Structure formats: C-alpha cells, structure tokens
Amino acid sequence: MIYTVTLNPALDKTVEIPSLTVDSVNRITAMRTDPGGKGINVSKVIKKLGGQSIAAGILGGATGRTICSALEAMEIKTGFRFVEGETRTNLKVIDPVNHTNTDLNEPGITVSEEILNGLLQELLLEVNQGDIVVLSGSLPKGSPKDTYAVWVKACKKAGAKVILDADGELLEEGLKASPYLIKPNNHELSALLGEKLETPKELEKAARGLMEQYAIEKIVVSMGGAGALYITQKETLYAEGLKVPVKSTVGAGDSVVAALAVSEEAQKSLEETVRLSTACGAANVMCSGTQAAEYETIAELLPKVIYRKL
C-alpha cells in the first residue's frame, strides 16, 4: 500500500485572470476548487494511474471536511486526524496572457508536537513491511524542524520505503534519516548545496554526493521544462521535457512523485519509471489547477518520452 502524508493541506482555489494587473480591478474568467497539498495531490494522481493509496494528514474545520468529502467522492481512502482550527485555502492565480502562475498561500493550522506524534502513531499501526510512505510539502506552524527526520526514521523502522519531497531546512533535516528516495528540483538542490547547479552533469554529481553522504537509494532531480534526472546507485537516465500546452504548473512535481510511488510498488524498471513519470508530469501541466490528468492523456504521451543514459 502507498500512504501519502500531508501535514499542511489546503483547499486550492484556482482562478484565471487574463493580463493580471497589480493595484487594479481584475476580472476572473474561470475558477475551480480542488483538495490540495502535495501529498493529497499525489494520491489524486495515483488514483488516475489505477493505483490505491491512503491519504493521511491533519485537517480542521469546515474546509477540512470539504477536503475529506472531496477525496472520498474520488474513492480515495483517507486517514486524517481532525484538530481545532480551520484548514487553509490557497489561491492560485493563472494569467494565460502573460503565462504566469502566482500562489497566495494562507499559513494554515498551528499544531503541537503531541498532535503530530499522535498521527504518526496512527500511521505506524497501518504501515507494513514493503509499503511506501510519501512525505511531502510544508509543515504546519508549531512543527519541529526535524519532523520529517522523525517520520522517515519511524516509517523505515516499520519496514516502509520513504519518499521525501521537501525543500529547504525540511529537506536538509529529513536527509539525516536517509529516506529511500528524494525528488528535489534543480533550484532546491542548488540551494541545499549552496552553489548554482545548471547542467545535468553538475546536478548528477551533486546528487551522487548526497546519495553517498546520506545512504539514499534513488534521487530524481526535476528541471522543469528541461526534463529530469533519474539517478540510482548503478546508473543515471536523463529524460527530456515533453513539449505540451501548459495550463498550470501547480502540482506537476506531485504528479511525478505519484508515478514514482506507483512504479516502485509495481517494481517497474528504471526505463518504465522514467516514461511514466515524464508523461505523468507533462499531462498534469495540461490541466487547470491541481486537477489530476486522466490516464488516457498520460498514455498518449508515453511513446513520446525521450531519454538517454548520462
């Protein structure tokens, strides 16, 4: 089973405003709402890929109930802990004329370490040997900075493979517990190492340094439209970015993580993983907001994926 953990979820409201202008009245031409937060986005895509997952995390108030109901309507199993307070609503502003995506994110619920530990213990009662746990996204206010390190260590002890998708200090701390797989983008990897990494060779060298230092099995480095690197202990594959019409880049990385989790569970080869992840990420930027692409769209892109050994 795949478990996704979203400790700071949100209701994502996506609006389109052609020629967005600061300090002026703007007219919304389209709008949609989706249950969001990185782990939740991963679960939505897993469902479209024909897989099963359990979405866990922390929710509060009417917004939290709306998110839970929406996921249940999608037939996604949930394991949320409800707490006092109101789950945040995040506004995603897409300007189709200027081709920009602007996020306005609320801070969300404040939680205690006791609440986090309670959710972790509930998760550990369910996780079995060979399961996959995806830890991704920001942390709610009140969370210790080593939260992901604690969760990685506990889930590994339970026999799970942990995929960590975080950045900044959260990634830096989480690495200390040696997750099975991480998925930084090129900017996050550069920031982590304190140097500007641009070429695939530079990114691969940096990633391999992390693999050796923290005993990580696999690293995927996404580079936006330029593609991605898929690095294992034995080899590296570079996948070119697919040229597709872009509606929203929000959630594209989560789509890649979903494909990685599904591929890991099915024990797909690295080549199959590269094809599915690349197609999945491209298909989802063709969608509005954090809506998950239909599998038919992903399947159409699979034969178009170009990759090579680095």
**Catalytic residue positions, numbered:** 254
Answer left, alpha or beta for residue 57, where phi above 0 means left and psi between -120 and 50 means alpha: left
Report the run of H or E that residue 90 belongs to, with start and end: strand 88-95
Q: How far apart are CA 179 and CA 159, in angstroms?
A: 12
Report the run of H or E that residue 136 belongs to, with start and end: strand 132-136
The secondary structure of residue 195, as a DSSP letter, is S
Length of the chain: 310
* Residues 60, 86 contacting (CB under 8 angstroms): yes
Residue 33: beta bridge partners? 13
Tokens, residue 154: 């506990």
